[in-house]
Amino acid sequence: MKLYIIANRLPVKVANPDGTFVFSRSEGGLATGLDSLQTSYEKHWIGWPGICTNKEKDKVEINTKLEEMNFHPVFLSDANIKNYYEGYSNSTIWPLCHYFFAYTLYKYCFWQSYQEVNQLFCDEICRLVRPGDKVWIQDYQLMLLPGMLRKKYPDLCIGYFHHIPFPSYELFRILPERAEILKGLLGADFIAFHTHDYMRHFISAVERVLHIDFKLDEVQIDNRTVRVDALPMGINYELYHKASYKPEIKQAIDRTRKLFGNHKLILSVDRLDYSKGILHRLHGFATFLEHHPEYHNKVTLAMVIVPSRDHVGSYAELKTKIDEEIGSINGRYSTIDWTPVCYFYHGFSLEELTAMYYVADIALVTPLRDGMNLVAKEYVATKYENTGVLILSEMAGAIVELTDAIQINPNDTEQIENAICQALEMPEKEQKERLKRMQAILSVQTVNKWATDFVNEMNTICAKNEWLRKKHITASTIAQIKLKYNQAKQRLLLLDYDGTLAALKLHPEDAQPTPELINLLQQLTSDPANHVVINSGRDHITLEKWLGCLPLSMAAEHGAFYKENGAWHKNTEKFEWGTGILSILQMFVDRTPRSHLEIKETAIAWHYRESDAWLGSLRAQQLVSALVSICTRQKLQILQGNKVVEIKSPDYNKGSEVRRLLVNKHYDFILVMGDDTTDDDMFQAVPPNAFTIKIGAVSETANYNLSAQSDVLHFLRAILGKQKMTLADESSKNLLISSFSFLKDLLLPNKK
């Protein structure tokens, strides 16, 4: 079995300087961490090789060489790079996720290319993947890919990690393709982010854009669960921590010390990007020099900026402003033997960069927004038996772990100035204590642990989904239930109404039975062996109005009323609601737009199906908290259902009605169908040999699952033998497609 790691770029650089292809491994944190990942799976990479070519001969040569290393190239054209990578990925998604809305550029050709390239990646994965393999997709360039793969192979185990910030809903909603992006991501079984903030923003966006509700960190889609978590990425700690003992780095340390002399060294290392706060940092340093002349000729800022996208307009403009600001500072303060800002507009080797980390007295890391920022972690890790102070932006994901850094708001130049002063004046003992505490965290939360944790959690949720899929009703399940149905002499059919027999409606009064449903219930009740019971939370007046003409039994208001042999019976007296409960509920109606109260004889329900998802969920929690004490005193039960909070007597529920029915008569076939958490009471009240079916989200207590409410009537007709069960829900169709595709791939020769 294989683990396919999917990234925009392969961890190898392919160059063609003199007509001969040269291959060199990348030393990025992701490649390093995944190379050391301990797993029983054979690791393969899929991605762009970093070179564009239209010649088939070149593609064959590159592919042959890369596949020796378990690398599988996806060849992109110059137009793809322009529109998919530089366009949608880095001119639309990147600025939006980093809160630079003014830099966000929308072009339809960008979006079109983004879809096309994600499809190219999907095609390559489908060419290679086999049953039992796992796929781990990396980052924002491939957000549509999980959904594309899910449509092709519904059973495939898919993980996705988002390496940049995920913006708040208010910003993400600006994206015209927001729904398609979210649906694409939800194709994964497991989705992870660097911090809980990004995780929270993602969940909020899904709930508000797609109107899908999470339960804590999970959401159910069709017959599977999608789990979301925060897993901060680490570094190769050992690589940096004792690097100063290596001979080549010792030499680099000596060269660095000679270069900067006795000056206190402040180090900043960034890729050229507007999200890194480089100009703000320079302004803060200039303010420091202006207000603290005593540090002139004593402190040097070494600024390493790695070129990136500098041919793009916004980046070229940023480069010009940086050059001007550095020139202004040096022009104003430099002397013959002192340059305040030493500017390096190029990358450094690992040895040279590690030496700079080791020598630097201060690391100034002040991004305006950053997914994680590994520079801060590398600096701290390198400080082996020497001192140093980390100044870190509170907008960087790394701040969650590196709490002993001096935290600053990068937008406040005065804070940057004060932080530099604090760092320069910090006693060595305090510096070492802070570093020791941060190193204790980094030494455990390594990049290898990050990768291992991700794969383990992905495996866990995929195993759960495999178990959930076994609950999904298939043709063989239907045949089994139908056989038992035909053999039975006395049958009990317990059916919920809303969300089961009838689709959920924004306005509950619109859920009246269709002629199709009435016809089906007539067929079920026409068999004298069938005892059909509608077990609902609705009030008995509505149920009688809609279904009273049929010869069936009914239970209303969660068992407070039941109809048997044509007559309604009451299990409890009409409850007189006190002003306390009513006033609380009315207050929540007033404070939650589009929510409303439903007052029944024996229960009262607050509905928030039409309300904003986030606000409705918040108000539901607040309402339960406000009601707990008063309901406890009055011995009332609080039920939380699907977009409803209900208050009723604890003496009856859907389960108590089932137990009453089972006492009166013996049944050799029992079928129970429901869609809500309140239906779990029914599932738990019947014998183990009953057929219990949850509609929608899979239930721990039900034996089987139907993904869609629209499949319920098809299922019941199939049991009756009136029609062949059609696989109406998309997941069932995809299950067949997946099986066929896997067989085709195994039996037919590969074609590329």
- 496 catalytic? Reply is yes
DSSP β-ladder status, 362-365 and 389-393: parallel
145 exposed, middle or buried (CB, 10 Å; 0-12, 13-18, 19+)?
buried
Over its C-alpha atoms, the chain yields an Rg (Å, rounded) of 32
What Å distances lie between residue 375 and 32, 38, 243, 324, 347, CA to CA?
Answer: 15, 25, 15, 25, 13
In sequence order, what DSSP letters do the residues of 321-366 get, joined into one string?
HHHHHHHHHHHHH-BTTB-SEEEE-S---HHHHHHHHHH-SEEEE-
List, in order, residues 6 or more apart from 411 with CB less than 8 Å away: 277, 280, 368
With vertex at residue 324, the alpha carbon angle to CA 294 and CA 272, rounded to the nearest 5 degrees, is 100
List, in order, residues 6 or more apart from 92 with CB less than 8 Å away: 104, 105, 106, 110, 111, 175
> Tell me, what amino acid is at 471?
K
Give the integer Cα–Cα distance in Å for 35 and 69. Answer: 12
Q: For residue 539, which of 485, 503, 575 has the smallest C-alpha distance?
A: 575
Return the H-helix or E-strand segment holding 533: strand 530-535
Q: How far is Cα of residue 112 from the mean position of the Cα atoms in its chain? A: 24
Strand partners, 228: 191
Asked if residue 477 lies in contact with residue 483, where contact means CB atoms within 8 angstroms, the answer is no
Give the integer Cα–Cα distance in Å for 228 and 196. Answer: 10
- Return the HEC string of 150-189: HHHCCCCEEEEEECCCCCCHHHHCCCCCHHHHHHHHCCCC
Asked if residue 156 lies in contact with residue 150, where contact means CB atoms within 8 angstroms, the answer is yes
DSSP β-ladder status, 644-648 and 603-607: antiparallel
Strand, helix or coil for residue 57: helix
List, in order, residues 6 or more apart from 55 with CB less than 8 Å away: none
At 553, list the tokens. 């039994």
Give the integer Cα–Cα distance in Å for 382 and 361. Answer: 12
Active-site residue identified among 133, 370, 404, 496: 496
DSSP β-ladder status, 22-25 and 12-15: antiparallel
Known catalytic residues are: 496
